């Protein structure tokens, strides 16, 4: 038996016919994957926030950013409002939990103000702003030009026919879902129909049913598992549990989000979603990472473990520029030389998502990696 039979068990005949063409893979999309639609990244979110007057909420967030920076020994706060929003969200949530544990009101002192601003109104306002900023509908003409279309075509060509396509993302927006099923089922150039699975039922509101991730594709269908690791602007929680409203408007229910910079999630749907990421990383051969620089320690730890446990795994990063020498991603590249790499053109320049020729270079890079593994 060839190695390919064991990797692609269940579709052995096809794999034996095309041993160098198929590869188990996944896509991991960070904020950079949504820039084409002018959706703010985590570092530009606070530039888009609308602050209520005379409540001091902006000053409270700026003060918290300063304290986080002092704690970490960095100068990131000096660029306010250009700070890592996910990091600040995570700290706010920790303070919110600490408030409940100690049964006391935890506040952030704001210089030049007579009274402290409590955590509750700060985090409540930011959650509503997340829904407003990331839950807004994207115009159809913008979605029609999204680079995701060509990416899906490449991943479909290289993935065994009965395997689902895996799209993991830390983004709150619904771009991937809208592209895959907006205005009806989307189709590939080979005629196959795309069906997105997020773990929620398709009616509105959709109900959380994690067993949906075990569904099998129908004939002529390519199943796409969209795994939103940090939640979505359209997700809420009501008396029945997690729901997907399908729209990013304010509702009586709080938005259902899992802010980054934390460890193992303890509630659904995030337990299932993060477990799925770990499972897929341990069995696939390549992950295409788009617009994500691995600043989140927990996500970085998951990939680090998978790279050590799965010697076949390769991580190919599409970024606007090479990582800084002291960055977490640069450290990953040093720890796993030749296995965590930057997608580059023939001149060695970084290839950002959506640049002309992106899909051609990506496909060739994946095929080359597959052929190298076959020879080895």
Average pLDDT over residues 335-360: 95
Residue 188: what pLDDT? Answer: 87
With H, G, I as helix, E, B as strand and everything else as coil, classify residue 244. strand
Which band of pLDDT confidence, cut at 50, 70 and 90, is reported for residue 159? Answer: very high
Chain-wide mean pLDDT for the chain? 85
The alpha carbon of residue 168 and the mean position of all alpha carbons in its chain are separated, in whole angstroms, by 5
Q: pLDDT digit string (tens) for 132-145?
A: 999 888 888 999 89
Residue 372: what pLDDT? Answer: 64
Above 60 in pLDDT, residue 1?
A: no
Which band of pLDDT confidence, cut at 50, 70 and 90, is reported for residue 281? Answer: very high
Q: Which of 12-16, 30-34, 59-63 has the lowest mean pLDDT?
A: 12-16
What proportion of the chain, given as a percentage, has pLDDT over 70? 85
Of 176, 95, 86, which is closest to residue 138 (Cα–Cα)?
176
* CA 36/CA 305 separation, integer angstroms: 32
Which band of pLDDT confidence, cut at 50, 70 and 90, is reported for residue 12? Answer: very low
Q: pLDDT digit string (tens) for 215-229?
A: 999 888 999 999 999
Domain coordinates in residue numbering, the chain: 3-38+140-375, 45-134
Average pLDDT over residues 182-205: 83
Q: Domain 3-38+140-375 falls in which CATH fold?
A: Rossmann fold (3.40.50)
Above 80 in pLDDT, residue 366?
A: yes
Above 90 in pLDDT, residue 310?
A: yes
Residue 247 or residue 336, greater confidence: 336
Average pLDDT over residues 34-59: 90
Q: Which long-range contacts (CB under 8 A, 24 or more apart) does 46-54 make?
A: 46/80, 46/81, 46/82, 46/83, 46/85, 47/81, 47/82, 48/129, 48/133, 49/81, 49/126, 49/129, 49/133, 50/129, 50/132, 51/125, 52/125
Q: pLDDT digit string (tens) for 79-115?
A: 899 999 999 998 888 887 776 666 555 566 555 443 4
Location of structure tokens 């949906």:
212
Residue 173: what pLDDT? Answer: 94
């Amino acid at each position: 038996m060839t190695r390919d039979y064991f990797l692609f068990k269940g579709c052995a005949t096809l794999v034996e016919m095309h041993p160098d063409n198929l590869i188990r893979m996944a896509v991991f999309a960070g904020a950079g994957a949504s820039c084409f639609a002018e959706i703010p990244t985590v570092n530009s979110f606070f530039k888009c926030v609308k602050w209520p007057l005379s409540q001091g909420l902006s000053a409270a967030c700026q003060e918290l950013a300063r304290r986080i920076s002092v704690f970490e020994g960095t100068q990131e706060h000096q660029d306010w409002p250009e700070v890592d929003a996910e990091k600040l969200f995570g700290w706010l949530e920790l303070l919110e939990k600490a408030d409940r544990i100690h049964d006391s009101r935890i506040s952030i002192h704001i210089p030049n103000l007579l009274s402290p601003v409590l955590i509750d109104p700060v985090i409540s306002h930011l959650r509503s702003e997340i829904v407003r900023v990331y839950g807004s509908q994207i115009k159809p003409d913008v979605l029609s030009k999204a680079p995701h279309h060509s990416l899906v075509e490449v991943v479909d060509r290289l993935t065994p026919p009965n395997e689902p396509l895996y799209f993991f993302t830390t983004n709150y927006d619904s771009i991937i879902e809208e592209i895959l099923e907006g205005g009806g089922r989307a189709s590939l150039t080979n005629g196959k129909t795309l069906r997105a699975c997020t773990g929620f039922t398709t009616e509105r509101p959709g109900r959380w049913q994690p067993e949906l991730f075990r569904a099998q594709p129908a004939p002529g269908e390519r199943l796409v598992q969209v795994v939103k690791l940090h939640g979505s602007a359209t997700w809420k929680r009501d008396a029945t549990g997690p729901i997907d409203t399908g729209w990013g408007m304010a509702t009586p229910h709080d938005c259902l989000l899992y802010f980054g910079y934390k460890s193992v999630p303890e509630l659904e749907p995030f337990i299932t979603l993060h477990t799925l990421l770990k499972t897929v990383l341990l069995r696939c051969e390549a992950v295409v990472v788009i617009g994500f620089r691995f600043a989140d320690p927990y996500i970085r730890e998951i990939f680090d473990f998978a790279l050590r446990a799965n010697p076949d795994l390769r991580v190919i990063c599409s970024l606007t520029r090479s990582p800084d020498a002291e960055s977490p991603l640069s450290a990953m590249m040093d720890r796993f030389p030749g296995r965590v790499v930057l997608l580059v053109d023939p001149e060695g320049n970084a290839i950002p998502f959506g640049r002309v020729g992106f899909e051609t270079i990506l496909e060739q890079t994946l095929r080359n990696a597959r052929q190298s593994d076959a020879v080895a």
